[in-house]
Amino acid sequence: MRPPTIRDVAERAGVSKSLVSLVLRGSQQVRPEKRRAVLAAVEELGYRPNAAARSLSERRTRTVGVLLNDLRNPWFVELLDGLNSELYASGLRTLLADGRLNRRLGEDLTHTFTELRVDGLIAVGTLPDPAAVRTAAARVPTVVAGTREPVLPHVDIVAGDDELGARLATEHLIGLGHRHIAHIAGQGVVGALRRRGFEAVMREHGLSASATVEQGDLTEEGGYRATVRLLGAPHRPTAVFAFNDMAGVGALSAAEELGLRVPGDLALVGYDNTYLARLRHLWLTTVDNAGHDIGRRAARRLLDRIADPARPGEVALTAPVLEVRGTTAPPRSAD
Amino acid sequence: MRPPTIRDVAERAGVSKSLVSLVLRGSQQVRPEKRRAVLAAVEELGYRPNAAARSLSERRTRTVGVLLNDLRNPWFVELLDGLNSELYASGLRTLLADGRLNRRLGEDLTHTFTELRVDGLIAVGTLPDPAAVRTAAARVPTVVAGTREPVLPHVDIVAGDDELGARLATEHLIGLGHRHIAHIAGQGVVGALRRRGFEAVMREHGLSASATVEQGDLTEEGGYRATVRLLGAPHRPTAVFAFNDMAGVGALSAAEELGLRVPGDLALVGYDNTYLARLRHLWLTTVDNAGHDIGRRAARRLLDRIADPARPGEVALTAPVLEVRGTTAPPRSAD
DNA sequence: GCCCTTCTTTGGACCGTTCCAGATCTTTCC
DNA sequence: GGAAAGATCTGGAACGGTCCAAAGAAGGGC
């Protein structure tokens, strides 16, 4: 009992398979009664076209491969959401590969996605294997979203302006009266950019001497550890700007454990405005990075690039917005 | 400049395309020197088989469709992780459709997945449109994971034992000395099961009179609102068992806002043991629902069902485990 | 009524694999 | 040395669509 094919439909409707194909692809050159007959046969048989046969013949798959760094990071999920909605509207489906979930990211890129002959590729977030992206980008239209690497010839980049975001956060803290401010840094290019924004603003305000940077990672654990180190040091900061919300929550825990009140004893800013920051119990001041919007823009870029693969790569940055919540306030006493 | 085909490889290696196919599929019936010639040609040309052509001919896609309720729920992500790792190991890739991300779930099911002729289908979590699952299950091997509906003829179900989990949580609170306990209920079958477990235990301890149930939903907001109502009532509970961690966090915020200390004035248990519950700042006592494990088991069930589609549907429940953290303690004074 | 257009409709090649029946080459054995 | 038995290899028919050149039908003009 195989699923019906276009020939079955043709036979039932009393026409040729070519005509069925025409009707299904919406040709205007078909007489109404034939069209009706075909559509009725489709309905009666429950016919669904076979995507494999179609892509073999059309030489395209209407599928976009998405390489994601980590599905556990809520910000990426939001980006993915924007991506999906825009691509779906253009009749493209999305095939997801998570670099963390199944480790063999490079393998996935070169094997799965090229075997499937995806029409396009979106790399989301800092990926473990940039070389794999390079290889793939040479064969298929590619857009990098949510990070600024790798920079490659015909590849577009859509990301938040991390340096600006870091400036906003730092300016906010300084504006509140903080002088001794620490930054918990993240990894990769994104980490470097946010750090640079922080350091630049501190320098501009003549506060380089009281700026501290502690290396963390993208997790709560990393933020916690970094904060413990920061607060254990002799001259401790009155404010912390964390690389992302997860690290910010870690910092929150560390402060609490050491008996410091937030924001009274320690002001705290995160980054990404994930739903974590929005939890009433945390209510983290953070930088909104507009993940959904970045996803949509990345999708549009990819559509453009599929239409014209040869055009030069562009970098599009979106401006982040500071979201002030409950974890920032002026320092208790002048530093 | 098209990608090379099996014919190009054959020509280069000086053999027939059939032999190339044999080599690539690992036949033992090929003389070593020919095998080497073929593999060398593959390497030189950078040949990658065309998945569409292969599935058309083999009449299977090596692809499993996954219907997910909500990617934003960390528990589902964990389940997905388990699913992926197991399926990947069996050479199946995963195509993800999120019911919340692109709303048209029913459409996706009947259109995208049937057009792609996926080899199997996994429905994760309570889905908005059970009828679509029913339709699809009639044509393709299907497994339901993480929930216990819909129950369908040849469909397996893999889920946590929600009633048992709720019992564990409730027993824990009673064991600590709580008498007046409230439950924030969730929706759907899962919600009903957890509620039933709670009510059964309360009844067994002769505490039905002091058991309260407040309807919430699966979000923080719902948990918050429900808790505000609970704590505003005349005879307020000393402990709350929330449907899931998100609702539990909402309850935490509500208690804090009303000036109650957790766990001193109010004990709190969540469900799912998501990373939220593990955040040091929240440190929620919760019920571990083993998402990763459920994902793996669902994958294995699907593999079995693909091998033998006609076998009767089975229900496999995994036993959850109570994870005691910082939000539960004995009540301050006997009730 | 006939020829020329303009619409519609159709047969068949093609997309890149797999798989099967049979062809061809090697061995083995008497 | 020849035949039978294996071991290898190959051509061609699927798989289920799209698309193009050409056939057939219908309408228009004289």
- CA–C1' span, A119 to D21, in Å? 29
For residue range A195-226, what is the model confidence (pLDDT) as tens digits?
Answer: 999 999 999 999 999 999 999 988 899 999 99
Residues 260-299, chain B, touching A (beta carbon < 8 A): 275-276, 279-282
Digits of tens for pLDDT over chain B (335 positions)? 789 999 999 999 999 999 999 999 998 889 999 999 999 999 999 999 999 999 999 999 999 999 887 888 889 989 998 998 899 889 898 888 765 555 565 666 778 899 999 999 999 988 777 888 888 898 999 999 999 988 898 999 999 999 999 999 999 999 999 999 999 999 888 999 999 999 999 999 999 999 999 999 888 999 999 999 999 988 899 999 999 999 999 999 999 889 999 899 999 999 999 988 999 889 999 999 999 999 999 999 999 999 999 999 999 999 999 999 999 999 986 54
Tokens for A146, please give them: 């949510």
Nearest nucleotide to the CA of A25, by C1', is: D18
pLDDT for residue A176: 97
- Are the Cβ atoms of B249 and A279 closer than 8 angstroms? yes
Rounded Cα gap, residues B217 and B189, in angstroms:
13
Q: Identify the bridge partners of residue A285 per DSSP, sorted by sequence position.
A: A269
Residue ranges, comma separated, of all CATH 1.10.260.40 domains in chain B are 6-49
**What separation in angstroms does the CA of B232 have from each of A203, A308, B92, B217?**
51, 62, 53, 19
- Tell me the C-alpha distance between A242 and A253, whole Å: 13
Residue B126 backbone phi and psi in degrees, to 5: -65, 125
CA atoms in the 13 A half-sphere facing the CB of A290: 17
Find the nucleotide nearest A8 (Cα to C1′): D16
Q: What is the pLDDT of residues A22-32, one digit of tens each?
A: 999 988 889 99
Whole-number pLDDT of residue A103? 58
Predicted local confidence at residue A132, as pLDDT: 82
Q: Do A52 and B49 touch (CB under 8 A)?
A: no
**What's residue B218's pLDDT?**
82
B5: alpha, beta or left, given left = phi > 0 and alpha = psi -120 to 50? beta
For residue A6, the chain B residues in CB contact (below 8 A) are none
CA distance B310 to A75: 42
| CATH 3.30.200.20 applies to domain A60-160+291-315 | no
CATH class of B6-49: mainly alpha
Chain mean position to CA A31: 47
The span from the CA of A99 to the CA of A70, in Å, is 6
Residues 238-257 (A) with a CB less than 8 A from some CB of B: 249-250, 252-254, 256-257
DSSP assigned state of B196: H
Collapsing DSSP states into helix, strand and coil, what is residue B20? Answer: helix
- B317 DSSP β-pair partners: B159
Question: Would you tell me which residues have their CB within 7 A of strand C?
Answer: A 15-19, 22, 28-31, 34, 53, 56-57, 59; B 2-3, 5-7, 17-18, 21, 24-25, 47-50, 53-54, 56-58
Instruction: Please answer yes or no on whether A48 and B72 come within 8 Å at the CB atom.
Output: no
Measuring alpha carbon to C1', the residue closest to nucleotide C12 is A18
The pLDDT value given to residue A286:
98
Which residue has better confidence, A245 or A335?
A245
Q: What is the mean pLDDT of chain A?
A: 91
A145 contacts A295 by C-beta, under 8 angstroms: yes
CATH topology of domain B162-289: Rossmann fold (3.40.50)
Cβ-contact B268, B255 below 8 angstroms: yes
Take residue A155 and report the two structure tokens written for it.
């590849």
To the nearest 10 degrees (0 to 180), the angle between helices B291-307 and B74-89 is 40
Interatomic separation, CA of residue B14 and C1' of nucleotide D3, rounded (Å): 31
Rounded Cα–Cα distance for residues B195 and B20 (Å): 60
Q: Do B281 and A253 touch (CB under 8 A)?
A: yes
Chain B residues with beta carbon closer than 8 angstroms to that of A102? 84-85, 88
Whether A99 shows a pLDDT value over 70: the answer reads no
Q: Is A101 on the interface with B (CB under 8 A)?
A: yes
Return the percentage of chain A with pLDDT > 90, whole number. 73
From B115, B130, B131, select the one nearest B65 (Cα to Cα). Answer: B115
State whether residue B63 is helix, strand or coil. strand
Q: What pLDDT is stored for residue A112 in this prediction?
A: 86
B58 nearest nt, CA–C1': C18
Per-residue pLDDT, B151: 87
Q: From the CB of residue B147, how many other CB atoms can be counted at a distance below 10 Å?
A: 21
Q: How many whole angstroms separate alpha carbon B88 and alpha carbon B95? A: 12
For residues A142-162, average pLDDT: 93
pLDDT at A234 > cutoff 90: no
* Residue A58 backbone class (left: φ over 0; alpha: ψ -120 to 50; beta: rest): alpha
Task: Give the A window 38-67 contacts with B, CB below 8 Å.
Answer: 48-53, 55-56, 61
pLDDT the model gives residue A233: 87
Nearest CB to A84 within list B102, B250, B275: B102
The pLDDT of residue B304: 95
Helices (H), chain B: 6-13, 17-24, 32-45, 51-58, 74-89, 105-108, 114-116, 130-137, 162-175, 188-204, 220-232, 245-257, 275-278, 291-307
Above 90 in pLDDT, residue A97?
no
C-beta separation of B190 from B165 below 8 A: no
Instruction: Specify the pLDDT at position A298.
Output: 97
- Closest CA in chain A for residue B135: A46
A/B interface, count of CB pairs below 8 Å: 117
Of the residues A93, A111, A117, the best mutation for testing chain B's interface (the one with the most B CB atoms within 10 Å of its CB) is A93
Task: Using the predicted structure, report yes or no on whether residue A38 has a pLDDT greater than 90.
Answer: yes
Judge whether B320 and B160 are in contact, CB under 8 Å: yes
pLDDT above 90 for A241: yes
Determine whether A210 is exposed, middle or buried from the number of CB atoms within 10 Å of its CB (0-12, 13-18, 19+).
Answer: middle
Q: Are A72 and B77 in contact (CB under 8 A)?
A: yes
Give the tens place of pLDDT for each residue, A158-177: 999 999 999 999 999 999 99
Q: Which two tokens stand for residue B266?
A: 């109010």
Q: With 0-12 CB in 10 A as exposed, 13-18 as middle and 19+ as buried, what is B135?
A: middle
pLDDT at residue B20, as a whole number: 97
Are A95 and B95 in contact (CB < 8 Å)? yes
Instruction: Identify whether the C-beta of residue A281 lies closer than 8 Å to the C-beta of residue B256.
Output: yes
CATH class belonging to B61-160+291-318: alpha beta
For chain B, give every residue range classified as CATH 3.40.50.2300: 61-160+291-318, 162-289
* Nucleotide nearest to A19 in CA–C1' terms: C9
Q: Measuring from the CA of residue B54 to each C1', which nucleotide is nearest?
A: C17
Using 50, 70 and 90 to split pLDDT, how confident is the model at A131? confident
Chain D bases under 7 Å from protein CB?
7-12, 14-20
Q: What is the pLDDT of residue A105?
A: 59
